[in-house]
Amino acid sequence: MDSLKISPAQWRNVGFSLLLTLVVAIAYGNSFRGEFVLDDAAYLDVEQDPDLTNLLGRIWAVLSGRVRSVGSLGFTLNYWLIGESPAAFHVGNFLVHLATALLLFDLVRRLLAAPYFQDRYTQVAAPLAFSVAVIWAVHPLATMGVTYLIQRFESQAALFYLLTLYCVTRSCLTNNWRWALAAIFASGLAMGTKETAISAPLIAIAIDRAMFSASWSETLRRRGWAYAGMLLVTAYFGVNLLPAFQTGTTLHASVTGLDQVTRWEYLCTESQVITHYLRLAAFPYPLCFDYQWPIARSFSQYAASGAFVVALLGLTFYSLWRRPPIGVVGLMFFFVLAPSSSFVPIADPAFEYRMYLPLACVVLLAVMAGYELWSRFGSANGWGRYVPIAAVSIITIGFVGMTLQRNRIYRTAETVWRSVVELQPDHIRANHNLAKILKDTGRVDEAIAILENSRQRVLGDPAAAGALDVELAEIAVWQGRLAESQSRFRLAIDGFAEIENPSSEVLRRSAEAHIGLGAVLQQAGDHAAAAEMFVTATELRPGLYPQANGMAGISLREVGDLEVAERQLQQAVSRSGPDQPWPRELAIVQFLQGDLQEAAGAFELWLAEHPDDYEIMLRLAWLRAAAEQDDVRDLTKAKRLIETLLVQLGPQLPLVDLAATVFAAEGNYAEATRLCESAIAQQRAMGVDPAALEARLELFENERPYRSARPGELY
């Protein structure tokens, strides 16, 4: 019975765990309200991603080693076990975060009480571990990894990363092979959740060597098989990352540039980002959802931050030699950040959720440094002994308040983007997205006010001002203020044209301004000017805008430049999906060029997918009824098309005329004559010159069918 008794130390650990749970619950108590925000719906809304419910499919994806498959499985389990509402997924995110905090507490506690430290921290291991866990768990820098639902990939990977280290630590302390086996399983779950966990086996080996083994040979002799298993499992998931790695090292699709960025430029940029992360870890204000971080291209931009990060790396390696546990913590900080903050360019250089697990390393070092300073210079007697408690309490309370405030940001997409615009008024993407949300919800005037205000702030930046002009022009189009939209588009185009050596992003936005102006001109009937705008857009960003090729083809067709129109539409067809209208428009151009057989075939293909396109049906019916070429004319198909048109549209004048042509082709000239006379009477009643119909009537009266090879006479 004595073995079942819980010792006072164990009760204290339980108490710390319950207190940690309570504090974390308070910090995230307001995070369960809200909706799916931004990328959330694409992965967590069953209507947008039906695969969310496919439990067996996602289990198979894990077994197949697919990238992030364990993270996706986590969302599916959330769906089946908790629910499908946003609140249900918030509960899941909170539970993952809480589990990570509790695991961090017990891991740090066991490491501080390990024999390596020779009882230096044994008596204070639990309070120190609690301090680390609670400060990390309520730190506002971690909110993006918890309250922004889709970033559970980050928090879940951190959970399994720490679980890997925890299992290795327990194996080292007890020399129990079961814990080592569990570490292999945990490392696989970590890597299967997100690629940020790729370093988990290396940090596990580093902890073993730094704190539990006297030599590398001892490390490998005792648990080498476990580390080999962890590396193999990690490689099993990691092999699918190679294509992304290769792409990332050659092109960086930056928010600010969409330009090619070398690995060196990205690495230098990340020195700035890492410095910023560390500043936020110490003083988490202001926080920003989307930094739109620019690429550092000159030495002066990254010299100071680069020297700082290099110094930190040097200190880390020095600590591995002189103070191995400290060195391992520093190494873990850099290793976890490495997939996003090293030499592999990715779309956005900076996002706060990437500091979710590295933040724990910073907090751990800060807490231990504070404790050592207090031990050396503070007083353990009187009021002095309460200084650490007061410091941790003040920091925790302050962070809880900031985290509660930060949670409110993630309730809606509007609050997210509004927070970015308030912090960075010249943030193009944030202004665009916020204005779109406001416009879509009927608050157009507010959307315009935000864009106008932002534009006034960036008058000296023609690229930013031009992008905002494009947004304002598009709203003017939406409101039907076409004259104003034209002036806005032209203002943007002129501004972009003044920029020397424009980036590909500037060229992209200029192309979009040309497309927008072209669409307005096309709507106004100025097809020559519209075609010029569309063609210019295709030249600015070749291959990027097939719709510009298609719209250019339509306007060129209207002005009679059929050869160029055909080339533009052929490019649009080759670069677009089957749901686009460009095959239809190309077929019309072929029809107008007199390539009747090819046009008829294209019309047939289009109608097979779009049976309600009555204009094309009428064109095809005329071809099948009256084309001069025998291989185009087909009276059976013509009659079937006319029957469909009559059912859908009734006996309209064009159909009466077409029916007369078919009857004449069949030899029923009496009926053809009657219908043609009826059509002529209708035209005269409408005040239309019936000359074309009268010419056909003369043919029918002379018992001759109407046939033509001229497109203008066949529709």
Confidence of residue 286 (pLDDT cuts 50, 70, 90): very high
Q: Rounded to an integer, what distance in angstroms lies between the CA atom of residue 338 and that of residue 664? A: 79
| Omega within 30 of 0 (cis) for the link into 286 | yes
Q: Is the pLDDT of residue 253 over 70?
A: no
Calculate mean pLDDT across residues 192-202: 92
Q: Measured in whole angstroms, how far is the alpha carbon of residue 565 from the centre of its chain?
A: 35
Q: Is the pLDDT of residue 1 over 70?
A: no
Q: Is the pLDDT of residue 88 over 80?
A: yes
Calculate mean pLDDT across residues 329-350: 89
Are 257 and 503 in contact, with CB atoms under 8 Å apart? Answer: yes
Token pair 């157009």 is at which residue? Answer: 444
Confidence of residue 251 (pLDDT cuts 50, 70, 90): very low
Task: Report helix, strand or coil for 245.
Answer: helix
Instruction: Write out the DSSP string of 87-119.
Output: HHHHHHHHHHHHHHHHHHHHHHHHHHTSGGGTT
Are 2 and 76 in contact, with CB atoms under 8 Å apart? Answer: no
Calculate mean pLDDT across residues 170-198: 93
Which range among 408-417, 640-649, 682-691 has the greatest average pLDDT? 408-417
Calculate mean pLDDT across residues 324-341: 93
Token pair 């719709």 is at which residue? Answer: 547
Confidence of residue 297 (pLDDT cuts 50, 70, 90): confident
- Alpha carbon dihedral 480, 483, 484, 486, in 10-degree steps, equals 110
pTM: 0.77
Calculate mean pLDDT across residues 354-374: 94
Are 526 and 483 in contact, with CB atoms under 8 Å apart? Answer: no
CA atoms within 13 A on the CB side of 318: 6
Confidence of residue 248 (pLDDT cuts 50, 70, 90): very low
Which tops the pLDDT comparison, 222 or 383? 222
Q: What is the pLDDT of residue 500?
A: 84
Mean pLDDT rounded to a whole number for the chain:
88
Are 204 and 163 in contact, with CB atoms under 8 Å apart? Answer: no
Angle, CA of 71, 72 and 76, to the nearest 5°: 120
Q: What is the pLDDT of residue 243?
A: 63
- In the chain, the percentage of residues whose pLDDT exceeds 90 is 50
Q: What is the pLDDT of residue 380?
A: 64
pLDDT tens-digit map of 551-594 = 999 999 999 999 999 999 999 999 888 788 999 999 999 988 88
Task: Report helix, strand or coil for 465.
Answer: helix
Q: What is the pLDDT of residue 518?
A: 94
Calculate mean pLDDT across residues 530-544: 91
Q: Rounded to an integer, what distance in angstroms lies between the CA atom of residue 393 and that of residue 395? A: 5
Q: What is the pLDDT of residue 431?
A: 84
Q: Rounded to an integer, what distance in angstroms lies between the CA atom of residue 508 and that of residue 461? A: 16
Calculate mean pLDDT across residues 610-631: 87
Q: What is the pLDDT of residue 2?
A: 52
Cα end-to-end span (Å), the chain: 99
Q: Is the pLDDT of residue 249 over 60?
A: no
Q: Is the pLDDT of residue 256 over 70?
A: no
| Omega within 30 of 0 (cis) for the link into 294 | no
Calculate mean pLDDT across residues 672-677: 90
Q: What is the pLDDT of residue 525?
A: 92
Helix axes 428-440 and 413-423, enclosed angle (nearest 10): 140
Q: Rounded to an integer, what distance in angstroms lies between the CA atom of residue 558 and that of residue 57? A: 51
Q: What is the pLDDT of residue 478?
A: 86
By the 10 Å C-beta count (0-12 exposed, 13-18 middle, 19+ buried), 667 is classed as: exposed
Q: Which two tokens stand for residue 512?
A: 């979009």
Confidence of residue 386 (pLDDT cuts 50, 70, 90): confident
Q: Looking at 33-37, 70-74, 94-98, which range is the least confident one?
A: 33-37
